[in-house]
Amino acid sequence: MIAFQSMSFRYGKRPLFEGLDLDLEPGSIFGLLGLNGAGKTSFLKLAAGALRPQGGEISVFGRNPSERSAEGLADIYFVPEDPWLPPITSSAWIERYASFRPAFDKARFEKLLDELALEDDKVLTKYSYGQRKKFALAAALSSGAHALLLDEPTNGLDIPSKAQLRRILAESADPSRVVVVSTHQVRDLENIIDPVIIVHGGKVLFRLSSEELGERLFTRHLSSLEGQAIVYAERDALGWSALLAKPSAPGSVEGEETGPADLELVFDAAIAAPERLEAALRGAGDALEAYRPEEHEIAKEASK
């Protein structure tokens, strides 16, 4: 488990987290969502021991990551958005670095390199950005670490590689492992991250499971917002892409293209209309006041 207890962290005089309490249990792939500057990368670095909190405690499977013990570091793998690799081949990398991780699975690593079409005789610094990202992800998923911390893992990947990553990540889910994925590319990963954690203003605004979202919310394309239990909506070329609260009683809702709750709309609702989202999640969506999109667009822009 990764646990934050009354954790505080700031850069200089600027507070980033104040009194953060959060438990991340093994067996899940957590999605960490937030605006630019919300602290997602710092959150991962704090869990990895690369940053130290100014207050409170952090525990990763019973160890304080700030102490940076050999055992603790071997059980955490942090993949930054732009991973650095040394000027050596993959085989030399294994000889030099895998020994620091007693549970490293060399066979799985080599299999992943092959699946991701990475040349094992190529010097790693000659890899493109996307190739460096794939190499670092293969190393993380083969490391045997119980805490995997991935910062924007789909950035730099082409469409087939994103599909491969989703499959590989899904296969990596394990009852003894915590995976935390920070991402702006929600639609790249929305089918495998569960639950979703939305951070904003130094705190966790929402922690949402796919089951909860499925029970309370849905997405529909609408030509008009009149008379609908709208949580949040955005204009598109044909009308509105809307996040709606499921009615408390069975009934029809006008519109087309009904689908599950779109995570991007859920995230935007959490930032721009948190009270409406909270009401829908507790089953009070029928009582929502008339939706005024201009108010929520202003709120969304002000929060950036």
pLDDT in tens, 250-291: 554 444 447 889 999 999 999 999 999 999 999 887 778 888
Tell me: do 61 and 189 sit in the same domain. Answer: yes
Give me the mean pLDDT over the 191-215 stretch: 92
Question: In angstroms, what CA-CA distances link 227 with 244, 252, 289?
Answer: 11, 12, 10
Crossing angle between the packed helical segments 129-142 and 106-115, to the nearest 10 degrees? 150
Q: Among 186, 208, 230, which residue terminates a domain?
A: 208
Q: Please tell me whether residues 85 and 134 are part of one structural domain.
A: yes
**Residue 296, pLDDT above cutoff 70:** no
Q: Per the structure, how many domains does the chain have?
A: 2
Question: Is the same domain home to 95 and 181?
Answer: yes
- The pLDDT mean for the chain works out to 89
Among the candidates 178, 208, 238, a domain finishes at 208
126 and 263 share a domain?
Answer: no
pLDDT of residue 201: 87
Q: Are residues 188 and 267 in the same domain?
A: no
End-to-end CA, the chain:
31
For residues 135 and 153, is the Cβ–Cβ distance under 8 A?
no
- Which of the residue ranges 56-65, 197-206, 295-304 would you say has the lowest mean pLDDT? 295-304
For the residues 223-239, what does the mean pLDDT come to?
A: 86
| pLDDT at 187 > cutoff 80 | yes
Domain shared by 263 and 181, yes or no: no
What is residue 83's three-state secondary structure? coil
Indicate if 141 and 220 belong to the same structural domain. no
Is it the case that residue 184 has pLDDT exceeding 90? Answer: no
Last residue of a domain, one of 208, 227, 244: 208
Single out the residue of 262, 221, 257, 266 nearest to residue 240, CA to CA: 221
Domain range holding 261? 215-303
110 and 185 within one domain: yes
Average pLDDT over residues 225-243: 87
pLDDT value of position 255? 47
Minimum mean pLDDT range among 157-161, 207-211, 266-270: 157-161
Q: What is the pLDDT of residues 82-137, one digit of tens each?
A: 999 999 999 999 999 988 899 999 999 999 999 999 988 899 999 999 999 999 99
d(CA 61, CA 198) in angstroms, rounded, equals 23
Q: Are residues 182 and 239 in the same domain?
A: no
What would the pLDDT profile of 49-72 be if each residue is shown by its tens digit? 999 999 999 999 999 999 999 999
Residue 185 DSSP class = -
pLDDT of the residue at 16: 92
Q: Are residue 204 and residue 109 in the same domain, yes or no?
A: yes
Reduced to 3 states (helix: H, G, I; strand: E, B; else coil), residue 264 is helix
**Cα–Cα distance for residue pair 116/114, rounded to 1 Å:** 5
pLDDT of 185 above 60: yes
Pairing of strands 178-182, 29-33: parallel
For residue 175, give the CATH number of its domain.
3.40.50.300
151 shares its domain with 220: no
Q: What is the pLDDT of residues 135-146, one digit of tens each?
A: 999 999 999 999
Together in a domain, 148 and 202 = yes
Residue 114: both structure tokens together = 């092959």
